[in-house]
Amino acid sequence: MISDLYDEAIEAFNEAINLDPDFAGFYTMRGYCYSKIEKYREALEDLNKAIELDPEEAQSYKLRGAVIGIMGNQALALENIKVASQLGDEKAREILEKRGVE
């Protein structure tokens, strides 16, 4: 089952974070995995930590925007997508264009 693969990936990222707790990418990817199995609070915690560690990483903002949107706060989700776009994320820019947001 797909969720089992995400669970395995989460365990691998747990180990990676134990080895290097200051690498933002591990939190971003674990947050992504949590979001795929609908553990949105855990995903949000990891994405917040990733942004704290590396505030210039666009992907973390884009993913956080997606999670926040799923959780129901569209305005805050859009703000995160805007930041991702400003940091150079092409997909985030496309999302904003489709919504008519500059």
pLDDT tens-digit readout, 2-28: 888 999 999 999 999 999 999 999 999
Q: What is the pLDDT of residue 101?
A: 81
Question: Model confidence at 57, in pLDDT bands (50, 70, 90)?
Answer: very high
Q: What is the DSSP letter of 20?
A: -
Mean pLDDT of the chain, nearest integer: 96
Question: Residue 35 and residue 82: Cα distance in Å, rounded?
Answer: 20
Q: Which domains does the chain have, with CATH numbers?
A: 2-99 (1.25.40.10)
pTM of the model: 0.93
Q: What is the pLDDT of residue 69?
A: 97
Average pLDDT over residues 73-87: 97
Question: Residue 5 and residue 19: Cα distance in Å, rounded?
Answer: 21
Nearest CA among 84, 89, 20, 3 for reference residue 51: 84
* 3-class secondary structure, 54: coil
